[in-house]
Structure 1
Amino acid sequence: MTLRLLLVEDDQRLSDKLQRFLIGEGFVVDLVTDGEDALHLGLTQEYAAAVLDLGLPSLDGMAILQAWRQNQRDLPVLILTARDTWLDRIAGFKAGADDYLVKPFHPEEAVLRLRALIRRSGSHNSAKIVCGTLTYDGMTGGMEMAGQPLKLTAFELRLLTALITRKGVAVSRNHLIASVYGYDEDAEAGSLEVIMSRLRRKISPHIIEPIRGYGYRLVGLPS
């Protein structure tokens, strides 16, 4: 089972990019842009963690966090905000935040902080995905083959993660491009095929099946 996150951010450009990046890192992401929707989902759905912006339409992020805590919702919460004074941080932690990340930020830092929060909360017990000889640990982001850690570049790992979290299902080339490059507007999408070629050589070309005119599918091999 993959880790499910609640991403609450009303800046469409930022939220789209961060959602794509998190998906590329193997998370399942529910994105909401409205405070009332965020409050409802946080109270009624189960998440490994939440990324919560403070400045939201209809209901402020701080009020949402306080309502979650008052209703005994103990999911780890990473506040994501432009409010960067020390008093803002104190207010966030007093409201029940587990961590605080100020914009602008690098998405990899957000992922590292989220994984640390999830690890401490113990919400990662079922975070492993197995596909034949491949095993993906959604909490650590690590990948193993036949019990041995795979030595992959960051792009190769994102690509393989996007495939294993949808094992057996054809994944479009556009989705893979977004998963690999998500936050990097300057990346050349054409290099996806180069990364795919290197990855297939490392783990066996038979594990990743090309779908002509569409994308790829991870089929795995018998363990």
Structure 2
Amino acid sequence: FLFSKDDDNLKKVENFVTTLALQLAEHVPGLASFVREVVEKKPGISEKILQIQWKHLIADPLSSLDQPMLEGFVVIIDALDECEKDDEMRLILRVIAQANEIRTTRLKVFITSRPEATIREVFGDAAMITHQLRVLQKVPKKTIYHGIRLYFQDKLRDFVTPEDLDRLVQRAGGLFIWASTACKFLNDAPAMKGERLNILLTNGKSS
């Protein structure tokens, strides 16, 4: 789920749980029937408070699975700080902390956000003991550059030489958005890859 203050539908929590429930129902075998049953029996569930939505649309259906999903699933919540209200950010974090109580599958939640005080406050709560908090500004530069190198290797495969790969990593300057844009720039025009690579290596400094 992506939060964005630029979109009225994405800056509030109203669609948060229902969107996750729909996505999980599409990807978790056997889950759709349980979610459908809840919606049929409780047609107004989407208007209930977040805790009730989570219980009936996500926690209970996952807990009802006949066959445990040992491999687990990852839910990604991007730009949580773009949520409109601080109290709604707190509510989301406290609700998803309950994912640890689901025993039929390992449901992990990956959250990206600016390190806002509200979010740090909730993560400091003992109830969030199962979390891992990583502040990107404190991640060693070597680790970031290594991650960008792996990204380039995956997206460009055997197209670039080791020397060009080194130069691309340096050009990215630790910014994944630069690396992502560069790969799209190269892969969108296969016939011009060589020419475009030269542009990146000579003029593509990140800012």
TM-score by length of 1: 0.31
TM-score by length of 2: 0.32
- Structure ranking higher in strand proportion: 1
- Structure ranking higher in helix proportion: 2
Q: Which has the higher contact order (CA 8 A, sep 6+)?
A: 1
